[in-house]
A and B are shown apart, each in its own frame.
Chain A
Amino acid sequence: MEKKTLIDDYEPGPVPSPRPVDRFGFVKLDVGNNIPEAVVKDRSVFERERDERRLRKWRKMIGVNGSDWKHYVRRKPNVVKSRIRKGIPDCLRGLVWQLISGSRDLLLMNPGVYEQLVIYETSAAEMDIIRDISRTFPTHVFFQQRHGPGQRSLYNVLKAYSVYDREVGYVQGMGFVAGLLLLYMSEEDAFWLLVALLKGAVHAPMEGLYLVGLPLVQQYLSQLEQLVKEHLPKLGEHFAQEMINPSMYASQWFITVFSYSFPFHLALRIWDVFLFEGVKIVFKVGLALLKFRHDELIKLPFEKLVHALRNFPEDALDPDTLLPMAYSIKVTKRLEELTEEYEKKNGKTVQSTKLNENQSPAS
C-alpha cells in the first residue's frame, strides 16, 4: 500500500491560498526554521542510489503486501532492527508501521468495528476533540482546511478511539499522534494503529500513557531526570541548581513522541524506531539532544535554559547526526532498574507496563 491519496473525498470549498509547502505538506514558514533546507536539499546521486538499494531490500523483506514480514522478523530480528534504525523508506512507511505494530491483524480481526464506532456511537469527549482539531498540525495543508477531509478524519479517529477505550477517552496530544498516522494511512488503519499503540497487538509502547493522572508520563519524567544525572552529571547538577524540572521541557517528548514540535522528517525517523523498540528511543533521543547541546546548556540561567530546551537549533535536529548519537546511548538496563525502584516507591504505575518490547526482538 502506498501513501494515501489525500483527495479521495475532497469537497470543493474555500481553498486556502496556495502557499509553498515542504515535501511533507507543511506550509513553509518564512522566518521559522522548522524544516531545515539543508535536509530537504536535492539528494545527491549517491544518496539516490542508496535509497533505491534500500527500497529494494525493504520490498524483498516485507514481501507482497507484507506477507513475509512476520517470518522475516522472527528469523532475522537484528537485520530488521538495524534497517529500521536507518529509516523506513517513505513510500513503505504506512504499511511497515502497520506491520511492526501488528495493527494489520487487529483490523482483520475486527471487520466493521471502526465504522460502527464512527457512525453510531457518541462520545463524551466530542467537544474536547473538536476544540483541538484546528489546533493540531495547523500548518499542514491536509489539516488546514476547516471541516476538510483532514480535519474530518482526524475527528473520526479520535472520536472512535475515545469510544473504544472509554477509560482513556481523549487526551490532548493524541491528536498529534493520530494526525501523524493519518498522513501515512487511511482513517481505519490509523485507528487500529492507535489501538495497537495503546492497547497492544505485538507490544503496547504507549500503554498507560494517557490514563487519569498521566502516571506513566510522571514516571518517565522522573526516570529521565535520573538518567540525565547519570549520563550528563554536569548538566544534571546545573538543572538542579536552576530548578529545572523535566516537565518543563520533556512532557511533550513522551506524550506525543516528538510529533508536537519537532521537524517532521526527524519525528518520522523516531517513530520508525519507536514502533519497533518502544519508549526507550524517546529517552535516547532526549539524552542525545541534551548531550549535543551540553556545553551551551550548562552556561544558561533558568529562563534561557528552559527556552533552549524547548527550541533546539537546526544542527541538533538533523536525524543523521542525532539518531546515531541516540543509538549509542545505552539505557535499557538502567531503565528497567529505575522502573523497579519507581514502582517500589510509588506502587505499580500501569498494570502490564512493557517498558521493553517483549515480542519484538530488539535487544
Chain B
Amino acid sequence: MARRMDEEYDYLFKVVLIGDSGVGKSNLLSRFTRNEFCLESKSTIGVEFATRTLQVEGRTVKAQIWDTAGQERYRAITSAYYRGALGALLVYDVTKPMSFDNVSRWLKELRDHADSNIVIMLIGNKTDLKHLRAVTTEDAQSYAEKEGLSFIETSALEAINVEKAFQTILSEIYRIISKKPLSAEDPGQANIKEGKTIVVGESEANQKRSCCSSS
C-alpha cells in the first residue's frame, strides 16, 4: 500500500492505555508523544489517541496509542477499543493502593474484550511522589510476575522511565509479530504494514469493519 513520505514506517502498532481515572494515563501519553506534562489537563471524556514514530529493534514503528476514560461508566464505550490492540499499558498510581487493587479488574476487562495474545505491561506511575508512596515496588513486581506481565515504574511528571516503558512494550510486540510466519493465511502480518488501524488475526473482510462499532 502506497504511503506518503511523511508516513514512512515498517509497522503500525495499536496500543491502549487503561487503568483507573487519575493515575496519569493522559500525561504518560503526552510525555511520550510530545514530551509534555500538562499541569492544567482535563479529565478524558471517551477516547483519544496520539501517535509517535520511533525506532524499535532497528525498525521504524509507528505507535498509535489510544487513551481512555478510566471511569467504570465509560467501559461500554472504551472497551470497544481494546479489540485489535496489540498492547495494553495498564497504569496504576503508586500513591493510591485502590488503583493497584483494581488492576485485576482491568485484567479481566482485557480478557473479556481484547485479543487473547495482547501484550500487557503494568505501570506504576507517579514515583516522584516519594513521601506518598503506598504501593511497594516489590508487591507490584511479584504481582506482575504472577500474572505474566512486564512491569515498570514511571513518573510522567519527571519524565522517568516513560520512554523505556513504551520502548519495552513496543519491542515485545515487535518480537511477537516478527516471529509469526509470513503467509497468505496470516493476514495479520500483512495488515501491520497497512497505514490503518490494524487488527491482527482477523481477516481482511473483518478488518474493513469499524474497529470499534459500539455495542
Mark A residues whose CB is within 8 Å of B: 128, 131-132, 135-139, 171-173, 175, 210, 212-215, 217-218, 221-222, 240, 242-245, 247-248, 251-252, 255-256, 260-261, 301-303, 306, 310
Q: Which of B163-192 touch A at CB < 8 Å?
A: none
**Cβ contact within 8 Å between A214 and B73:** yes
B129 to chain A, nearest CB (A): 15
Mark B residues whose CB is within 8 Å of A: 21-22, 39-49, 51, 64, 69, 71, 73-74, 76-77, 80, 195-197, 208-214
Choose among A242, A244, A255 the residue that contacts B46 (Cβ–Cβ < 8 A): A255
Nearest chain A residue, comparing its CB with the CB of B212: A245
Choose among A131, A139, A260 the residue that contacts B40 (Cβ–Cβ < 8 A): A139
| A128 in contact with B21 given A301-B195, A302-B196 (CB within 8 Å) | yes
Q: Which residues of chain B come closer than 8 Å to A251, judged between CB atoms?
A: 45-47, 77
Q: Which residues of chain A come closer than 8 Å to B74, judged between CB atoms?
A: 172, 214
Q: Which residues of chain A come closer than 8 Å to B73, judged between CB atoms?
A: 171-172, 210, 212-214
| A135 in contact with B42 given A218-B76, A218-B214, A243-B196 (CB within 8 Å) | yes
Choose among B21, B210, B212 the residue that contacts A131 (Cβ–Cβ < 8 A): B21
Q: Which residues of chain B come closer than 8 Å to A261, judged between CB atoms?
A: 42
Q: Which residues of chain A come closer than 8 Å to B44, judged between CB atoms?
A: 172
**Cβ contact within 8 Å between A303 and B43:** no
**Cβ contact within 8 Å between B46 and A136:** no
Q: Which residues of chain A come closer than 8 Å to B47, judged between CB atoms?
A: 247-248, 251
Q: Which residues of chain B come closer than 8 Å to A172, judged between CB atoms?
A: 21, 43-45, 69, 71, 73-74
List 15 additional A-B contacts (Cβ < 8 Å) besides A138-B39, A214-B76, A301-B195: A131-B22, A131-B43, A135-B41, A136-B43, A172-B44, A173-B45, A217-B77, A243-B209, A245-B214, A247-B80, A247-B214, A248-B212, A252-B45, A260-B42, A260-B45
| A221 in contact with B21 given A212-B73, A214-B74 (CB within 8 Å) | no
